[in-house]
Amino acid sequence: MAISMTTSTAIGFFFPRTSQKNLDYFSSDHFFASCRVGRRRILEIQCSSSSNNKPRDISKLDEEKRRAELASRIASGEYTVQRNNGLISVLRNSLFKLGLPGKFLARVLSFSEEEGFLDIPQAKGNIGAIGKQAFFIPLYDLFLVYGGIFRLNFGPKSFLIVSDPGIAKHILKGNSKAYSKGILAEILEFVMGTGLIPADGEIWRKRRRVVVPALHQKYVSTMIGLFGEASYRLCEKLNDAALEGRSVEMESLFSRLTLDIIGKALFNYDFDSLSNDTGIVEAVYTVLRESELRSTSPIPTWEIPIWKDISPRQRKVNASLELVNNTLDGLIDMCKRIVEEEDVNFGEEYMNEKDPSILHFLLASGDDVTSKQLRDDLMTMLIAGHETSAAVLTWTFYLLSKEPSVVSKLQDEVDVVLGDRFPVIDDMKKLKYTTRVINESLRLYPQPPVLIRRSLEDDMLGMFPIKKGEDIFISIWNLHHCPNNWVDPEIFKPERWPLDGPDPNESNQDFSYLPFGGGPRKCLGDMFATFETVTALAMLVRKFNFEMAPGAPSVEMTTGATIHTTQGLNMRVSQRKGATIHPCKS
Ligand code: HEM
């Protein structure tokens, strides 16, 4: 499923409801020396809106040119104003080095704000005007100029953009209690309620404690069988296309593959979306698209009293949400009845062989929770664990289409480790190169590209005091593409991660690499998702060769919650000679 939207709408949603503050610029040690535009300045970018009138499919060359022009105009100081704040900077830096707590420092130093001395670099303007591209791309250009933390103002709205590993670590881990999900929780409330992603405070703490044990080792091992079966069904579909010489749109197939997997894994429900398009499957996609649309829409039309009841789109959304909710309620009730009749002997790695789902685990554990909260958690995981994995597979296959040498190495490994059988848990340790391909794909295309937070109290971010109520974007995209953090950051090079080294994660990469977030709110499906994508990748490249379909539109990015393609990933598939996979052979 490709969800297409313009950058200006994408930006629009991400920047609602905050007050504007004008702050001074102070160049930080985290910034690139080569990109510095100077100390003690107020920066204002006034991006021309004329590019809004350009046609949507501007050539890549034009895009590059415009970005380069903008960067050099900013760097030349065209939009900057000199300002002196030397003494305050020296004072702040000295206090910071003494290791005083962030909240205290923020209070002590906040007096400078009234005098205009607070000096987070400031970018001002409509980044949508920079080009018709996914919103996180212009944020990268601005990062190269303004550094690891800067403020972006949109009229009355203001956001802090964080691309510095140390600051990201502070927000996500060191002082995570001082940050909430902010606007994300407000927007996702209609579909996720108080599920794990939007929830904060005590509700989140309680639910996280209950849900995490459900994804224990034995459960994830069992899931590998499920990943294999679903991937095999996709292979059968691709077989037909290969025989008929038809090209296939892989993004939508990956979306269906991961929907089928997550439905079974969460509540033992077979969406069968690889062969079925209507009813509940259509309802799930309507709800998913709506949550992405709300995440990127400038005007919350869904909140307008009469409109929300008469608009055909909203009526469809409401009906779909009702169908999905009723289906989940039905599954919860049914599972409750089964568990009541079961002779449950609940232990740490409890699993019902017939129904190893997370729902069954939670009910058998005696999880004392309302059906509504359980539904919110399941819905959250349905969304969190579906489009993310699908997007990882989509961009992995896109990257592979440009690197035949990586594909050869991948196929060599899969032929040796798996041959013609399905993967099992022990293979996950052996499929090292396959795992590195996924690690590297997640570096180049992080899903989601940006994490959202709001400060719940005054704090210090690096050298800068911030106030309670700041909306913050941690740009994983910037962290993963930053030339300070990576050699040849734009090159797809699975070899950058040694095969005999540990799997890369936020801890061993010191928050320069955040594919699953970090700190207490780190993704709880990281192992599940890694094994899922490794299994699918291994089985697909074992059986087929993939190439871009002749005449396929060029693959461009657009963004919802994850990075989508603008026009799908159209590929031609051919069977590898002699490379079979036998069903049920593991
Ligand atoms: C490759 C696939 C996946 C990626 C890239 C991914 C990425 C992430 C990231 C970056 C976060 C942190 C969000 C934040 O800090 O704001 C997160 C949170 C979360 N993910 Fe995943 N995820 C994936 C798959 C899954 C799966 C399969 C599940 C469920 C089985 C899942 C469930 C969750 C949940 C419940 C949270 C919220 C955790 C909390 O706030 O306590 N994810 N994910």
Nearest CA to ligand 1 atom 34: 523
Query: 525 alpha carbon to ligand 1 midpoint, in Å?
Result: 6
Does 455 fall in a domain? no
Query: 196 alpha carbon to ligand 1 midpoint, in Å?
Result: 9
Does 372 fall in a domain? yes
Q: Decide if the complex's ipTM is over 0.90.
A: yes
The answer, yes or no, to whether any atom of ligand 1 lies below 6 A from the CB of 254, is no
| Residue 241 CB-density burial (10 A; 0-12 exposed, 13-18 middle, 19+ buried) | middle
CATH number at residue 321: 1.10.630.10
Closest CA to 251 of 402, 398, 64, 31: 398
Query: 520 alpha carbon to ligand 1 midpoint, in Å?
Result: 12
- Partnered with residue 152 across adjacent β-strands are 123, 159
Please tell me the pTM assigned to this model: 0.84
The answer, yes or no, to whether any atom of ligand 1 lies below 6 A from the CB of 518, is no
Q: How many residues in the chain?
A: 586
47 is known to lie in a ligand binding site: no
Q: What is the chain's pLDDT, residue by residue, as a tens digit (586 residues)?
A: 332 322 222 232 232 222 222 222 222 333 332 233 333 233 333 333 333 333 334 455 555 665 666 566 555 544 443 343 445 555 555 555 555 555 655 555 554 444 444 579 988 766 555 556 788 888 998 999 899 999 988 767 789 999 999 999 999 999 999 999 998 898 889 999 999 999 999 999 999 999 999 999 999 999 999 999 999 999 999 999 999 999 999 999 999 999 999 999 999 999 999 988 778 889 998 998 888 888 766 677 787 877 777 888 889 999 999 999 999 999 999 999 999 998 878 888 999 989 999 999 999 998 888 999 999 999 999 999 999 999 999 999 999 999 999 999 999 999 999 999 999 999 999 999 999 999 999 999 999 999 999 999 999 999 899 999 999 999 999 999 999 999 999 999 999 999 999 999 999 999 999 999 999 999 999 999 999 999 999 999 999 999 999 999 999 998 878 999 999 999 999 999 988 898 866 6
The answer, yes or no, to whether any atom of ligand 1 lies below 6 A from the CB of 451, is yes
Nearest ligand 1 atom to alpha carbon 181: 16
Query: 176 alpha carbon to ligand 1 midpoint, in Å?
Result: 16
Does 174 fall in a domain? no
> Structurally, how many domains does the chain consist of?
1
Residue type, 111: F
Nearest ligand 1 atom to alpha carbon 447: 5
Instruction: Give DSSP secondary structure letters for 207-263.
Output: HHHHHGGGG-HHHHHHHHHHHHHHHHHHHHHHHHHHHHT-EEEHHHHHHHHHHHHHH
Nearest CA to ligand 1 atom 19: 523
Distance CA 132, CA 497 (A): 33
Does 540 fall in a domain? yes
Does 95 fall in a domain? no
Query: 503 alpha carbon to ligand 1 midpoint, in Å?
Result: 18
Q: Three-class SS of residue 511?
A: coil
Closest CA to 524 of 177, 192, 195, 194: 195
The answer, yes or no, to whether any atom of ligand 1 lies below 6 A from the CB of 258, is no
Does 430 fall in a domain? yes
The answer, yes or no, to whether any atom of ligand 1 lies below 6 A from the CB of 223, is no
Query: 424: domain range?
Result: 194-442+514-575
Does 250 fall in a domain? yes
Does 363 fall in a domain? yes
